[in-house]
Structure 1
């Protein structure tokens, strides 16, 4: 295995277990079984290493959303499935969970920036899908950036906030709610 890849895997493991703030280059070197100097041959500092790990998480998040899009399904089903997959990834991916926790507990600036990068990527994906649906005539003309923001926040609220005091909403029920409260208002009338 190449050393750079080994360092990245060790860094992701460290950030996932201990968070950004508590992870050190020494610790990452120990996990990667390399000398600290070896890390500096590939990365200038912990911040650069963290940025690369976050970039991989952004790519993984976009990939999860893209995989949900199927040409033979209605727009709202595709978007629902894409958002659901993104939120599930956020709930289950060890690094994403740790980043969310660190933002809430410590509000560490680089972690806050990383979470915003991920959210920006998701918003961009949703906006792009909304733009395509408007172009195809599936949706009426709308401010897609605002609608994307609203939809992502709706999903986050229904999954994370709702589940604090209520049983989890089943995927099919979420689709029903999405269709009733969002898609019916956006759908182009014939």
Structure 2
């Protein structure tokens, strides 16, 4: 199996999960969309969960690349954090896969999808923790436990972008950034 063929299968799987969600996607559908036999698909991925896990891992890597691309050495820690959230929220809105899976979480609470959300959150936490450690070493932020702060930042982000929407109208990304800045970043940043 060539790397190109595996990439094509994963692209088809991502499309199927984006269209039908995790629960609604079958290995049959993925095989048809990838133009391969179902048996061939099972020789590469032993289960739908394994295939989904690989699709999610790739989506998370894309989100991390998007976040990394938002960082500029010309900006302060606080400005970089706001730019990161701006880019991540824009990416998430454009991603049919992430959008569909978030809807599935709200409607069905599918355990496999909840596990994927947790993996996504943990990846963001690790990314932010590294930024916090770097900012701490540079003297840009107050002394803090970077694990606790990265967790808090991500949970506030999740609360404002997902949880809030369950019972209220969605918040604009500028409002989300404003409250992340107000509630967390302002308190972290050393005043000059």
State the TM bucket, normalised to the shorter chain.
0.7 to 0.9
Equivalent residues, number:
188
- Cα 1:167–1:40 shift into 2, 3 Å: closer
Is the contact made by 1:51 and 1:114 (CA closer than 8 Å) also made in structure 2?
Answer: yes
Secondary structure class of the residue paired with 2:190: coil
Deviations 1:139-186 (A, max 9, x none): 11112222222222333344452794376253xx66555444433322
Is the contact made by 1:87 and 1:156 (CA closer than 8 Å) also made in structure 2?
Answer: no
CA distance in 1, matches of 2:90, 2:180: 17
* 2:38 alignment counterpart: 36
- Calculate the TM-score normalised by the size of structure 2: 0.87
Is the contact made by 1:127 and 1:148 (CA closer than 8 Å) also made in structure 2?
Answer: yes
Q: Which runs of 5+ in 1 are unaligned?
A: none
CA distance in 2, matches of 1:110, 1:169: 27
Spell out the pairing of 1:129-144 with structure 2 (5 A cutoff).
129-144=131-146
* 1:53 alignment counterpart: 55
* 1:13 alignment counterpart: 15
Q: Which runs of 5+ in 2 are unaligned?
A: none
Matched, 1:83 2:85: yes
* 2:96 alignment counterpart: 94
Secondary structure class of the residue paired with 1:165: coil
Shift of 1:3: 2.6
CA distance in 2, matches of 1:167, 1:121: 23
Is the contact made by 1:158 and 1:169 (CA closer than 8 Å) also made in structure 2?
Answer: no
